[in-house]
Structure 1
Amino acid sequence: MNELNLVDGINLEKTLIGALDITFKEATPDKVVCEMPVGPKTHQPMGLLHGGASVALAETAASFAAALNLNPKTHYPVGLEINANHIRGKKDGVVTATATPLHRGRTSMVWDIQITDEEGKLICISRCTIAVVAINKNEQ
């Protein structure tokens, strides 16, 4: 399911999503679940999962979830704000992000993202606000 084609012509492997080896396990307008391996690519210097990698995973889940609630011919999602609380460290394995909606409005959406480990233990909790941007027909 990693070939989610939410934006025509974009190769996800050539984006941060590909660089961090993020894969999608579930994608509906009500929930997006994606995974990311924890290893050298996602470590901070002390060998733990980098907080920035967790935030990138969280925003990826929220952005794709928002996109699934939009008409891609008229609107697209853009991250506006994100926060994260890093609950516990992780050295290896896989983390899973689950994004669910808190608010789905006409011009913005707010998503709750929980990142857990293989045992379901909470690694990070995040909230991401997504701006809903109208495609300007004059720019095409």
Structure 2
Amino acid sequence: MSHTAVTAVTVEQLNALGQGYFPGYLGLEITSVDNGEVAARMAVQPHHLAPNGFLHAGSVVTLADTCCGYACRLHLPEGANNFTTIELKSNHLGTARDGAIVCVAKPAHLGRTTQVWDAVVSNAASGKTIAIFRCTQMILYPK
């Protein structure tokens, strides 16, 4: 991990980054950037639900993928200028119909060409795990 520097950024800067884009539209709020991890919160609204009344899996994945993507952005190796998600997996263990869900993303692998991030999405009130998420990011360099 020594070759990957953590870029200093504030919660406010990350929240501004998502405005006008999908994370902002869904109401994702970055709540902390600490020790290489990124945490976020999303208040559950009707547009986050599937027609069956349960939290839509896409809403959960968006929260987790955004946390992991922002964290990857903060850990780009020297010379890299961007990244893209090349694989993701999500195991859904529960749901929420109201309240809020929270997520914490942590690095599993910080390489020069790929990064692997793990995230856990939980019910904010009960702490119950809703989903376990893993994604692989391809690190991009200028051509």
1:110 aligns to 2:116 (yes or no) = yes
Q: Distance in 1 between matches of 2:42 and 2:141?
A: 30
Offset at 1:98?
Answer: 0.5
Going from structure 1 to structure 2, the CA distance change for 1:104 and 1:29 (only over 3 Å counts) comes to farther
TM-score normalized with structure 1 length:
0.86
- My pick for the range that moved more, 45-54 or 26-35, is 26-35
Matched positions, count = 132
Task: Pick closer, same or farther for the CA change 1:29–1:74 going to 2, 3 Å.
Answer: farther
- Structure 2: tracts of 5 or more residues without a match: 1-10
TM-score for the superposition, normalised by structure 2: 0.84
Alpha-carbon separation, structure 2, partners of 1:29 and 1:80: 25
Matching residue within 83, 90, 100 for 2:96: 90
* Alignment-derived partner of residue 78 in structure 1: 84
Moved more, 45-54 or 28-37: 28-37
Task: Write the distance in 2 (CA, Å) between the matches of 1:39 and 1:25.
Answer: 18
Contact kept? 1:29, 1:66, Cα under 8 Å:
no
Q: Structure 1 residues 105, 87: closer, same or farther in 2, change over 3 A?
A: same
SS at 1:3's partner residue? helix
The residue aligned with 2:50 is: 44
What secondary structure is seen at the aligned counterpart in 1 of 2:109? Answer: strand
Same amino acid, percent of matched pairs: 31
Q: Secondary structure at the match of 1:53?
A: helix
Task: Indicate which of 42, 65, 72 corresponds to 1:66.
Answer: 72
How large is the Cα RMSD of the aligned pairs? 1.9
SS at match of 2:83: strand
